[in-house]
Amino acid sequence: MAASKLALKCEKCGRKADRVTLVLQFNFEFNYLGCDDCHSEALRAIAAEAANPAVDEVRRERLNFLLETALTPEEIWASAEAVKKAVKAVKLPEVA
């Protein structure tokens, strides 16, 4: 029996997606599973707020930390594929 494909939906825009990625919001409270477009939009919003001169220094540091440590969806999914391959390559000892 073939495995059914899970229907994925972006929690922000509501569109169906081939994949969704955890999107960390700049308020550090509300995270969601979003499509690639919404993920990119969130990073642009974080960058725009960090560039705003009216933002206090502590918040700017937090925003910049988010930007410096953020991965693109492509990087996240490539890492996941690399982990899958590494796990498959592990040879476990036979259990008697």
Would the pTM of this model clear 0.75, i.e. be above it? no
Going from N- to C-terminal start, the domains of the chain cover 8-72
pLDDT at 4 over 50: no
The identity of residue 5, as a single letter, is K
Among residues 8, 55, 57, the alpha carbon closest in space to that of 33 is found at 8
* Spatial separation of the C-alpha atoms in residues 21 and 35, rounded to whole Å: 6
* Spatial separation of the C-alpha atoms in residues 92 and 74, rounded to whole Å: 30
* Helix 36-51 / helix 57-69 crossing angle, nearest 10 deg: 150
Q: Which pLDDT does position 52 carry in this prediction?
A: 95
What value does the mean pLDDT take over residues 42-53? 91
